[in-house]
Amino acid sequence: MFMHNKRLQYTVRVGETNPRLATMMLEQFGGADGELAAAMRYFTQGLGEDDAGRKDLLLDIATEELSHLEVIGSIIAMLNKGVKAQLAEGQMEEVELYRTIGGTGVSAKESLLFGGGPALIDSAGVPWTAAYVDSRSEPTADLRSNIAAESRAKIVYERLINITDDPGIKEALGFLMTREIAHQKSFEKALYAIEDNFPPGKLPAVERFANMYVNASQGEGDMTGPWNEGAQWDRIDDLAQVMPVDGGDGTASVKLSVDELKVAKKMAARTRSDPTANPTTGADLGAGPGAGRITDGDQGGAEDIASAPAFAEANAPE
Q: Shortest approach of Mn ion to residue 39 CB, angstroms?
A: 8
d(CA 35, CA 128) in angstroms, rounded, equals: 11
Q: Shortest approach of Mn ion to residue 126 CB, angstroms?
A: 20
Please tell me whether residue 154 binds Mn ion under the rule CB under 5 A.
Answer: no
Which amino acid makes up residue 210? A
Which stretch in 66-74, 76-84, 271-279, 299-307 sits in contact with Mn ion by CB under 5 A? 66-74
Q: Shortest approach of Mn ion to residue 38 CB, angstroms?
A: 5
Task: Kindly report the three-state secondary structure assignment for every residue of the chain.
Answer: CCCCCCCCCCCCCCCCCCHHHHHHHCHHHHCCCCHHHHHHHHHHHHHHCCCHHHHHHHHHHHHHHHHHHHHHHHHHHHHCHHHHHHHHHCCCCHHHHHHHECCCCECHHHHHHCCCCCCCECCCCCECCHHHCCCCCCHHHHHHHHHHHHHHHHHHHHHHHHCCCCHHHHHHHHHHHHHHHHHHHHHHHHHHCCCCCCCCCCCCCCHHHHCEEECCCCCCCCCCCCCCCCCCCEEECCHHHHCCCCCCCCCCCCCCCHHHHHHHHHHHHHCCCCCCCCCCCHHHHCCCCCCCEEEECCCCEEEEHHHCHHHHHHCCCC
Nearer CB in complex with Mn ion: 121/156: 156
Q: Shortest approach of Mn ion to residue 213 CB, angstroms?
A: 34
- One of 180, 187, 191, 287 touching Mn ion (CB under 5 A): 180
Q: Shortest approach of Mn ion to residue 196 CB, angstroms?
A: 26
Q: Shortest approach of Mn ion to residue 60 CB, angstroms?
A: 11
Neighbouring CB atoms inside 10 A of 228's CB total 15
- One of 27, 33, 49, 65 touching Mn ion (CB under 5 A): 65
Which stretch in 57-65, 76-84, 90-98, 195-203 sits in contact with Mn ion by CB under 5 A? 57-65
Please tell me whether residue 54 binds Mn ion under the rule CB under 5 A.
Answer: no
Residues 68-127 that bind Mn ion (CB under 5 A): 68
Which stretch in 10-18, 60-68, 101-109, 167-175 sits in contact with Mn ion by CB under 5 A? 60-68
Q: Shortest approach of Mn ion to residue 259 CB, angstroms?
A: 56
Nearer CB in complex with Mn ion: 25/92: 25
Please tell me whether residue 33 binds Mn ion under the rule CB under 5 A.
Answer: no
- One of 86, 183, 187, 287 touching Mn ion (CB under 5 A): 183
Which stretch in 26-34, 110-118, 173-181, 232-240 sits in contact with Mn ion by CB under 5 A? 173-181
Q: Shortest approach of Mn ion to residue 227 CB, angstroms?
A: 29
Nearer CB in complex with Mn ion: 65/142: 65
Which stretch in 13-21, 38-46, 76-84, 295-303 sits in contact with Mn ion by CB under 5 A? 38-46
Which amino acid makes up residue 159? R
Pair type for strands 234-236 and 293-296: unpaired
Q: 172 vs 25, 34, 73, 74, 179, CA distance in Å?
A: 12, 15, 12, 11, 11
Which stretch in 63-71, 82-90, 191-199, 298-306 sits in contact with Mn ion by CB under 5 A? 63-71
In the complex, which residues of this chain contact Mn ion (CB under 5 A)?
35, 38, 65, 68, 180, 183
